Amino acid sequence: MSNSTHVTRRASALGPGLAVLFVALALVAFLSVTQGSRSIGLLEVLHALGSLNSDVSTDSTVTLELRVPRTLLGIVVGAALGVAGAILQGVTRNPLADAGIMGINSGAAVFVVFAVTVLGVRGAGVYVWFAFAGAIAALVLVYAIASLGREGATPVKLALAGAAVTAGLASVTAGIVMTNVDALNELRFWQVGSLAGRYAPILTGVAPFLLLGLVASLGFGRVLNGLALGEDVARGLGQHVTRTRAAAFAVVAVLAGAATAACGPIVFVGLVVPHAARFICGPDYRWILPYSMLLAPIVLLLADVLGRVVAAPDELQVGVVLGVLGAPAFVGIVRYGRLSEV
Amino acid sequence: MTATTSAAPAATTAGAFRTVRRRRATRSLVVTSALAMAVTALFVLTMMVGSFQLTAGEVIASVLHLREDPSVDFVVRDLRLPTATSALAVGLALGAAGTIFQQLLRNPLASPDFVGITSGAGLAAISGIVLLQLGGLAVSGLALAGAVGAALLMYVLAWRDGVAGYRFILIGIGVALFFDGLIGYMLTRARLSDARQAMHWLTGSVGQAGAAELRLLLGALVLLLPIAVLLQRQLRTLELGDDTARALGSRVELGRGGLLATAVALVALAVAVAGPVIFVALVAGPIANRLLGPATGGIVAAALAGATLLLTADLVAVHVLPTPLPTGVVTGAVGAPYLLWLLATTNRQGAGG
């Protein structure tokens, strides 16, 4: 069959493609460590990494205390958001589904605003745990409401429940922000999404969750392929559809919740990168997931580096760069690429 | 079910069809009239309550110019009627436009809020507020231009031998993210007072309507709602998929273009009047569909559901809350629990979709 040879040929090209992406990610990570308002050479970076002592020189301080944590955070957060987005699009079979529309961002925002107004908390380091808790609470709520009823959490019900919870929580946030200028001031910076100012404690706080979630997510390729054929077919293939969906949502909650908690809502990566991965790989989730996992941090770090270089010595938030540069690129892919639907 | 066991299957099947169709038509009529009555009641109620209490009779007499009473006329016609009318008109427009988008793109999330149109309006208006310190009519004009511009941009970008729903959605995501990125940037760079005014506009409020924009929106509703309902037949065949619709003789591109243009015009004018009141366009269609049961997809029912939602939200925002807040803050808080309740209860009957 010509179709099957086409598929195998594609698969044989996709394996090396992953290796290329891996190298690209290493290059971008190197750029992210060396570029910025203060340019640091390769030798200094290697020297700093070799000594692991941040007191030797300014260069090594900047490298070890700012750039390296920021780059590592960009990698894990990007990978987490990319994979979480791909899983959500697969489970809900909706191209508009992302962690944001499933309530994650609005849940996190409500808890952040609550922490600012009621508890008087300030600073990203403390927001993290409030945002994480809020994100998970919102996602659990969405899933619980959607799974009421005989047929369980169908894609349409998940999408509508997610949108409704998002809107309800966004109302609460808006209500608080409208009446409290302090909260507005904190929220307008939090909600753009940024890698800046997130230092080692935040990284070490969220990294275990993200790594755990990333490892778990790679096992979902086959079941997502089954779900893509429709629930009845998936059930016929011997899948336990309800259990699969619940497990997928648990993984998404950990990945997207921790990522959003660390960096604020970075919508673009979770929404767009899985589509880009689908353009490359076709409809097979066993490839889409690893491609999303590598493409997303590349895109995120590139945008972050650009934001630092373009506006130096100031910087543009990564969320802004992604929207302004990434979105037109995505539109170009959609317009001229071949589409394979969710 | 009984048709297959009966002696004359063909006749009874036709009969069963007729019964189902009649039941559907009846339900559609009942639900739509009930929604219309709810909207009328809420419309009158909005003008009755306030620091100066009026009876329903006084309000109706004053609005219809049946009785002249200067003090009542001032309160009703000059103070309360504009806000109530704008809540009604914006609700109708957003409800109708939202359900048209959702059906055209065959996606329950594809309301104008998510596919870039409101973001375009938002960016234009926010630029006016933050960069040029504008207000009032100028901001409304910018919002109108932004919404229409975003819609045109999306249509041009998504056009390739016709506009496929899936490609349109993806392009819409891209356009929305582009505008949202710029909005976020503006908000972080703005002075706090400007940011506050911008957030207020972005939340949306029926109280900020100007007379000129409102008159334009009312005219558009009178003209466009009937057109949308007439195009409903096209919409129904489109739900079967482009190829089936074409095979059934629908002029797919013409019908889709006409409907999209209608919906975009309604959204753009509604946003110009009240700002992007979130959630109304998204939720009116699904609420109406769940009330309509098997006779889903009524544009009029969705428009009325939108108006009900916005009038209720306005009542809550102005009279129930301790500090008056923009209407957009309340629409989510009022509409979301209702939609969730509908999802939960229709699920139990196995019809939640």
Residue boundaries of the structural domains of chain B: 37-348
pTM of the model as a whole: 0.81
Would residue A342 count as lying in a domain?
no
- Alpha helix (H) residue ranges in chain B: 2-5, 9-48, 56-63, 70-73, 81-104, 117-132, 137-158, 165-189, 192-203, 211-230, 232-238, 242-247, 252-274, 280-292, 299-315, 327-348
Contact (CB, 8 A) for B81 and B213: no
Domain that holds residue A155: 2-336
pLDDT (tens digit per residue) in B258-317 = 888 899 999 999 988 888 887 888 888 888 888 887 666 688 999 999 999 999 998 888
B-proximal residues of A, 25-84, CB under 8 Å: none
Torsion of CA B312, B316, B318, B322, to 10 degrees: 180
> For residues B248 and B92, which has the higher predicted lDDT (pLDDT)?
B92
pLDDT (tens digit per residue) in B40-67 = 999 999 888 877 888 888 888 888 888 7
pLDDT for the residue B90? 93
| Predicted confidence band of residue A177 (pLDDT cuts 50, 70, 90) | confident
DSSP line for A61-114: HIIIIIIHHHHHHHHHHHHHHHHHHHHHHHHHT-TT--TTTTTHHHHHHHHHHH
Share of chain A above pLDDT 70, in %: 90
Q: CATH no. for residue A117?
A: 1.10.3470.10
Share of chain A above pLDDT 90, in %: 13
Q: Which one of B107, B109, B200, B278 would you mutate to disrupt binding with A, by most A Cβ within 10 Å of its Cβ?
A: B109
Residue A135, token pair as written in the block: 């994100």
Residue range B37-348, CATH number: 1.10.3470.10
Residue B230, token pair as written in the block: 């007439």
Tell me which chain B residue has its CA closest to the CA of residue A142.
B340
Whole-number Å distance between alpha carbons of A249 and A260? 15
- pLDDT of residue B349 exceeding 80, the answer is no
Separation of CA A148 from chain center = 28
Among candidates A60, A75, A103, A51, which has minimal Cα distance to A211?
A75
- pLDDT of residue A2 exceeding 70, the answer is no
Contact (CB, 8 A) for B314 and B308: no
The mean pLDDT value for A64-83 works out to: 88
pLDDT for the residue B236? 67
B338 phi/psi in degrees, rounded to 5: -65, -45
Contact B171/A275, CB-based, under 8 Å? no
Residue A287, token pair as written in the block: 């490839």
Contact A316/B323, CB-based, under 8 Å? no
Tell me which chain A residue has its CA closest to the CA of residue B204.
A174
Contact (CB, 8 A) for B28 and B289: no
Whole-number Å distance between alpha carbons of A187 and B127? 20
Contact B344/A148, CB-based, under 8 Å? yes
Whole-number Å distance between alpha carbons of A57 and A36? 17
Distances (CA, A) of A136 to A105, A198, A268, A320, B306: 10, 21, 20, 25, 31
Whole-number Å distance between alpha carbons of B339 and B298? 17
pLDDT for the residue A25? 92
In chain A, how many H helices and how many E strands? Answer: 16, 0
Q: How close, in Å, is residue B156 to chain A by CA atoms?
A: 10
Residue B53, token pair as written in the block: 């209490």
**DSSP 8-state symbol, B285:** H
Q: Which one of A105, A171, A314, A324 would you mutate to disrupt binding with B, by most B Cβ within 10 Å of its Cβ?
A: A171
Q: Which amino acid is at A26?
A: A
Which chain B residues are within 8 Å of A271, Cβ to Cβ? 173, 177
Distances (CA, A) of B315 to A311, B39, B48, B94, B306: 46, 12, 11, 18, 14
Residue A235, token pair as written in the block: 């059930």
Whole-number Å distance between alpha carbons of B53 and B47? 9
pLDDT for the residue A124? 61
Which chain B residues are within 8 Å of A322, Cβ to Cβ? 177, 181
Contact (CB, 8 A) for B40 and B54: no
| Predicted confidence band of residue A75 (pLDDT cuts 50, 70, 90) | very high
Would residue A198 count as lying in a domain?
yes
Which chain A residues are within 8 Å of B333, Cβ to Cβ? 168, 171-172, 175
Q: DSSP 3-state assignment of B136?
A: coil
The mean pLDDT value for A304-316 works out to: 82
Share of chain B above pLDDT 70, in %: 87
Would residue A341 count as lying in a domain?
no
DSSP line for A189-232: HHTT--STT--HHHHHHHHHHHHHHHHHHGGGHHHHHHHHT-HH
pLDDT for the residue A55? 67
The owner of tokens 């600012």 is A116
Contact (CB, 8 A) for B211 and B283: no
Contact (CB, 8 A) for A186 and A122: yes
Which chain B residues are within 8 Å of A146, Cβ to Cβ? 343
Q: How close, in Å, is residue A109 to chain B by CA atoms?
A: 15
**DSSP 8-state symbol, A154:** -
Which chain B residues are within 8 Å of A316, Cβ to Cβ? 185
The mean pLDDT value for B137-159 works out to: 88
Would residue A287 count as lying in a domain?
yes
Q: Which amino acid is at B269?
A: L
Distances (CA, A) of A221 to A88, A111, A178: 12, 33, 43
Which chain A residues are within 8 Å of B323, Cβ to Cβ? 179
Whole-number Å distance between alpha carbons of B205 and B139? 14
The owner of tokens 């207020």 is B200
ipTM: 0.75
Q: How close, in Å, is residue B347 to chain A by CA atoms?
A: 5
The total number of structural domains that make up chain A: 1
Q: What is the mean pLDDT of chain B?
A: 82
